[in-house]
Amino acid sequence: MLIAGEASGDQLGADLIRALRRERPELRIAGVAGPAMRAAGCEAWFDADELAVMGLFEVLRHLPRLLRVRRALLARLAADPPALLVGIDAPDFNLAVEARMRARGVPTAHYVSPSVWAWREGRVKLIRRAADLVLCLLPFETDFYARHGIAATFVGHPLAERIAGPPAPAPARDALGLAHDAPVLALLPGSRGGEVARLMPSFAATLAWLAERRPELQAVLPVAREKLAPAIRAALDAAGVAARTHLVTGDDAAARALAAADAALVTSGTATLEAALLGRPQVVAYRAAPLTLALVRVLRLIRVTHFALPNLLASTPVIPEFLQGAVRPEAMGAALLELLDGGDARDRQLVEFANIHRTLRRDASATAARALLELIAPSVRA
């Protein structure tokens, strides 16, 4: 049983299903699944989009629906217990389900460590109750779990397997109809409505600031979901930069946009790692919902000084970060201009990104599959 939340978890689940089937073709795999997991052969009990909610206060609006899904899922699991339950990310939903089923004797694992080493460290108590094993995508996470007496394995990051290395920009520019002799900036404002609403106006204004100084500048922007397109277009129109921005849709839109780019302005999240593995220098920004940020500050829930994932993996932080009120067009624009024009700042990022790629490339899905199969009861393994 695999439980995935939103698109990133769905892709991780699909890769894991294929790796599990290579080891054990006869496995029946069911779960909370998106299109990628269904295509990989997962029997979908619920849709992964049901869990695609983030933020402390944002969750409250969807809580009745989430609780209904959890009750229905637990009832079905009780009636048809799996040999192994794997929660893929979505910790606020999955850990509670894992804990309930583990108490009933079902082996459990959690794939993708919650960022307990960064914020809300108190969740480690729930993880200890919930998971027989935590599969970690980042190398430093296993030390954290060892200190708390929780079994954990570093499997590497699937993105590092899918991305062979920095692609040449020319083929991507040809495919998108972009000029080869003018710089290209990728804008990645996020895949959730709240992120786009909070960041897209500032991203568009930053592009306008840069265009005044580099009139030849082109921009590419991947649209993660079609329903985000109206807000994105409205922000580009308001900033007067719609004509120079190429919207990219469809599968792998972010990867195709980044491949065409010289540099990127990225919302904090997995996209920062994707940009790093593709070898694209970047500036990272984030704005949390005001109520969420207020609670985080009052309760002192954050324990790290950097929020861009490549900065946490690098030997020294190299990516400029802009948070909340610091998300200003002139500040982000100046940092991006330095990357677009080349020089030491760009070179430092590229060196660190190459090191990160080597560290994370561990055949993650196959490594995770082997670790999970070790948890399955002997009668199933036989």
> pLDDT at position 379, please?
47
Indicate whether 164 pLDDT > 80.
Answer: yes
| Ranges 58-62, 147-151, 272-276: which has the least confidence | 58-62
pLDDT range class, residue 289, cuts 50, 70, 90: low
Question: Range of 102's domain?
Answer: 2-156+362-381
Domain assignment of residue 162, yes or no: no
Average pLDDT of span 352-356: 97
> pLDDT at position 225, please?
85
Average pLDDT of span 17-36: 95
100 and 134 in one domain? yes
47 and 196 in one domain? no
300 and 329 in one domain? yes
pLDDT single digits (tens) 197-216:
999 999 999 999 999 999 99
Contact 18, 365 (CB under 8 A): yes
* Per-chain mean pLDDT for the chain: 90
194 and 137 in one domain? no
Domain assignment of residue 290, yes or no: yes
Write down the pTM of the prediction: 0.82
Domain assignment of residue 118, yes or no: yes
47 and 133 in one domain? yes
> pLDDT at position 293, please?
56
Domain assignment of residue 161, yes or no: no
368 and 353 in one domain? no
> pLDDT at position 139, please?
95
Q: Residue 198, Cβ neighbours under 10 Å: how many? A: 21
Backbone angles phi, psi at 320, to 5 degrees: -65, 135
Strands (E), the chain: 2-4, 30-33, 43-47, 85-88, 108-111, 133-136, 152-154, 184-188, 218-222, 245-248, 263-267, 282-286, 321-323
Domain assignment of residue 164, yes or no: no
212 and 137 in one domain? no
209 and 246 in one domain? yes
How, if at all, do strands 30-33 and 133-136 pair?
unpaired
| Ranges 8-12, 81-85, 274-278, 356-360: which has the least confidence | 8-12
pLDDT single digits (tens) 304-333:
567 799 999 999 999 999 998 899 999 999
pLDDT range class, residue 61, cuts 50, 70, 90: low
374 and 355 in one domain? no
183 and 39 in one domain? no
Average pLDDT of span 175-201: 94
Domain assignment of residue 163, yes or no: no
Q: What does R_g of the chain's alpha carbons equal in angstroms?
A: 21
Indicate whether 191 pLDDT > 90.
Answer: no
> pLDDT at position 49, please?
73
pLDDT single digits (tens) 95-148:
999 999 999 999 999 999 988 876 678 889 999 999 999 999 999 999 999 999
> pLDDT at position 292, please?
55
180 and 42 in one domain? no
Average pLDDT of span 337-353: 96
pLDDT range class, residue 42, cuts 50, 70, 90: very high
Q: Which CATH number does the domain housing residue 96 bear?
A: 3.40.50.2000
pLDDT range class, residue 299, cuts 50, 70, 90: very low
pLDDT range class, residue 269, cuts 50, 70, 90: confident
Indicate whether 302 pLDDT > 60.
Answer: no
128 and 182 in one domain? no
Q: How many domains does the chain have?
A: 2
Indicate whether 53 pLDDT > 90.
Answer: no
